[in-house]
């Protein structure tokens, strides 16, 4: 299970986007470092969100961009691995947990559900999670910008 057994529609979208995106110049960097940077941008988010909603929103977008970029770099340079998949999924859950700290009550149950789905994904070798950070970005834009 290098990156989990993704749902069919996700595979189709990935195939189409990768066809174009893997042709653009990408940095040859360890994808795990990029995953770590997404955790860092999540930490910065909770430090600035109360002071600047716009900067908070930009950091959410940056976090999602980094999450997308780590997989793209791994596929581009054939660096996909079981360890990389585990690092990616773990950094995703850490990032969610960090981002939801200021919004704890409202998002805690979805975060808990996503952790259960992650464990299920590992045991069943089928990637099933909620795109919580994407949903949260929409929520944040609607309510805070």
Any residues with CB less than 8 A from the CB of 38 and at least 6 apart, and which? 63, 66, 67, 70, 91, 92, 95
pLDDT for residue 105: 77
Quick one: what percent of the chain has pLDDT higher than 70?
95
Give the total number of structural domains in the chain. 1
Q: Determine, yes or no, domain membership for 94.
A: yes
Q: Determine, yes or no, domain membership for 72.
A: yes
The owner of tokens 């430090």 is 47
Asked whether 6 and 129 are in contact (CB, 8 A), the reply is no
Q: With a threshold of 0.85, does the pTM exceed it?
A: no
Task: Give the span between the Cα atoms of 40 and 63, in whole angstroms.
Answer: 8
pLDDT band at 22 (very low <50, low <70, confident <90, very high): confident
pLDDT for residue 89: 94
Domain encompassing residue 106: 8-24+31-144
Q: Determine, yes or no, domain membership for 64.
A: yes
Q: Determine, yes or no, domain membership for 1.
A: no
């Amino acid at each position: 299970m290098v990156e989990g057994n993704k749902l069919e529609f996700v595979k189709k979208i990935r195939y189409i986007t990768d066809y174009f995106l893997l042709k653009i110049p990408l940095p040859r960097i360890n994808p795990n470092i990029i995953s770590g940077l997404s955790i860092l941008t999540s930490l910065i988010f909770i430090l600035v969100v109360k002071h600047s909603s716009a900067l908070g929103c930009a950091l959410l977008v940056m976090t999602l961009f980094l999450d997308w970029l780590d997989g793209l770099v791994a596929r581009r340079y054939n660096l996909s691995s079981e360890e990389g998949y585990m690092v990616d999924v773990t950094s995703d859950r850490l990032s969610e947990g960090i981002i939801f700290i200021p919004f704890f009550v409202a998002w805690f149950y979805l975060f808990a559900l996503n952790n259960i789905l992650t464990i299920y994904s590992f045991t069943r070798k089928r990637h099933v999670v909620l795109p919580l950070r994407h949903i949260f970005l929409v929520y944040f834009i609607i309510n805070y910008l």
